[in-house]
Amino acid sequence: MGSYNRLKIQINCPQCKKKIDGTLQFRFGDIWFYEYKIGDYIKSNDSSEELLDYLVYCILEDSICPYCQSQLSEEYDMLVEKGRIAHVSLMKDYSIYLKENEGDYIEIRA
């Protein structure tokens, strides 16, 4: 994946239900191992990225629950609204990413 940025999130293990501190990797905005949390604004030299909404492909760094060793879901969708990280959810459909931007993210068109 080369360089990437990081997003810190909390995940609920589907097996033991414990809260886990997770780190997602993604490639959007200026890419240089920046660390974000939900609600942060993405650093970007491309000002058009602050005007539009994007769905960004994310992958979980450690996908084994530290408490019960269950396999966790590895792939997530991050919603970026007008430059700000709004929401993260389990990835629904990877095929949407295959169309553009090397699979890293897509622009959401109304």
Instruction: Give the footprint of Zn ion on residues 33-72 (CB under 5 A).
Output: 65, 67-68, 70
62-96 burial by CB neighbour count: b if 16+ within 10 A, else e? eeebeeeeeebeeebbbbbeebebeebeebeeeee
Nearer to Zn ion, 11 or 42 (CB): 11
Tokens standing for residue 74: 């590895």
Sequence letter at residue 27:
R
With respect to Zn ion, which residue has the nearer C-beta, 17 or 109? 17
Query: Which amino acid is residue 61, in one-letter code?
Result: E
Instruction: Give how many residues touch Zn ion by CB under 5 A.
Output: 7
Identify whether the C-beta of residue 8 lies closer than 8 Å to the C-beta of residue 23. yes
Contacting Zn ion within 1-40 (CB under 5 A) = 13, 15-16
- To Zn ion, the closest distance from the beta carbon of 60 in angstroms equals 13
As measured in angstroms, the least distance from the Cβ of 9 to Zn ion is 16
Q: Using CB under 5 A, list all residues that contact Zn ion.
A: 13, 15-16, 65, 67-68, 70
